[in-house]
Amino acid sequence: MSYSDEDESLQYNSSGSNHNNDAATVILMGRRRSGKSSILEAVFHKMKPWESVYIESTAKPEVLNVASLININLMELPGQIDYVDPEYDNSQMFRQTGAIIYVIDAQDEYYGAVRNLIRVVEKAYMENPNIRVEVLVHKIDGLSEEFRDDTVRDIKDRTSEMLYDGGLESFAGIDFYQTSIYDQSIYEVLSKIISRLIPELPSLEHLLDNFVQHSAIEKAFICDLKSKLYFVTDSSPLDSKIYEVCAELIDLSIDLDSLLGGNHDDDSSSLEGSITEGAITDGESTPKQKRLRCVSKLSSGIKLYLHEVLKDLCLIAFIRDDGIGADDSATLAVLDYNAAIFRKGLERIFHDRL
């Protein structure tokens, strides 16, 4: 396969994505077999992590469009091709890009990867000084706990040293994360990266903070039902475990729904007499389908609340009851009411797009 072939396919893909010009582009890079395709398959196509060992090596750039609260083109560049080769015209590519996700295999020798990363950063920074570079120290599950932090620190130190040598010490848009597809870490990190690209993030966060305050919620997320990624969370500190449980609740709701939830194309008959929607819609926006709503109670007064506020977009709340005035039905009624208001707010922010 020659370079010109690759060039064409890249051209083709990027011109294909011109149809939605407002889409932000995220480039996924890294050496071959570092786990780029596995990440995309696991997160966006529900592939079981252990099945990802069978994925063929990616031969040409592939674009995955994620359209939800934000429209994102995730472009995966195969690792065996050197995209920062001076002969290769990549200026266009980096200029349109919001973030580069650079995947490093933590289980492999990573000096080469770090050197390659530096060249990518140099080039990208030259073309687009506002670009963000997010480095995933991936496959971290293969390292024992005590080596994980050391490995990340080593990669970080090497990178900043080499950036300094290259006169790029002022570049601040680089972050390092530990990820694995065997746990929720990849979801959490991708969520963080993507949510940064949402232009309306501050207003959304404000909206969510408001919701949290008025409903006695400990933590709330707006999640994509398909990928489990969260786009927004309220401004209180994030506990990974809480996100993990929330993500698991999405899995459960989706799986049970597809298994037992009944016919999904049936959108007219399910409308009448729908008890849950009836209470919170105000008639002006009639939903085509009854949306998912799920309440789960756990011991020690914990409640999880999931409500699909827009298609494939859900609001999840983690509630810890202190036992004072804990009337379940009242709490839920307040939640439902506030969720409806929240949805209106969301619709107002995105009225042109949704």
Q: Among 20, 32, 110, 92, which residue's Cα sits nearest to residue 63? A: 20
Minimum gap (Å) between residue 50 Cβ and other proteins: 7
Distance CA 186, CA 50 (A): 15
> In whole angstroms, how close is the CB of 106 to other proteins at the nearest point?
17
Q: Which is nearer to other proteins, 139 or 290 (CB)?
A: 290
- Cβ 287 to other proteins shortest distance, Å: 11
Query: Least distance (Å) from other proteins to the CB of residue 105?
Result: 19
Which residue, 15 or 329, has its beta carbon nearer to other proteins? 329
Residue (167 or 237) nearer to other proteins, CB: 237
| Single-letter amino acid, residue 158 | R
Q: How far is the CB of 98 from other proteins (least distance, A)?
A: 32
Q: Which is nearer to other proteins, 257 or 312 (CB)?
A: 257
Give the Cβ contact number of residue 44 at 10 Å.
17
Kindly give, in sequence order, each residue whose CB lies less than 8 Å from that of residue 100, ignoring residues fewer than 6 positions away.
26, 27, 29, 94, 120, 124, 131, 132, 133, 134
**Can you state the angle between helices 185-195 and 240-260, rounded to 10 degrees?**
100
Nearer Cβ to other proteins, position 183 or 200?
183
Residue closer to other proteins (CB basis): 201 or 245? 245
Say whether 313 sits in a helix, a strand or coil. strand
Residues 325-330: contacts with CB within 8 Å, 24+ apart? Answer: 326/301, 328/297, 328/303
CB of 188 to other proteins, least distance (A): 14
Q: Contact at 8 Å (CB) between 331 and 303?
A: yes
Task: Note the residues at the interface with other proteins (CB under 8 A).
Answer: 48-50, 182, 241-242, 244-245, 248-249, 251-253, 255-257, 259-264, 266, 269-270, 272-276, 289-290, 292-300, 302, 329
Query: Residue 135 in 3-state DSSP?
Result: strand
Distances (CA, A) of 49 to 20, 43, 188, 306, 330: 31, 9, 16, 25, 41
Give the shortest CB-255-to-other proteins separation in angstroms: 5
Q: Which is nearer to other proteins, 27 or 292 (CB)?
A: 292
Tell me whether residue 84 or residue 271 sits nearer to other proteins (CB atom): 271
User: Cβ 283 to other proteins, closest distance in Å?
Assistant: 18
Distance in angstroms between the alpha carbons of the first and the last residue of the chain:
42
Nearest to 223 by CA among 289, 280, 305: 305
Q: Which tokens go with 19?
A: 């149809």
**CA contacts within 13 A on the Cβ side of 212:** 22
Nearer to other proteins, 87 or 272 (CB): 272
- Least distance from other proteins to the Cβ atom of residue 263, Å: 6
Rounded to an integer, what distance in angstroms lies between the CA atom of residue 283 and that of residue 265? 22
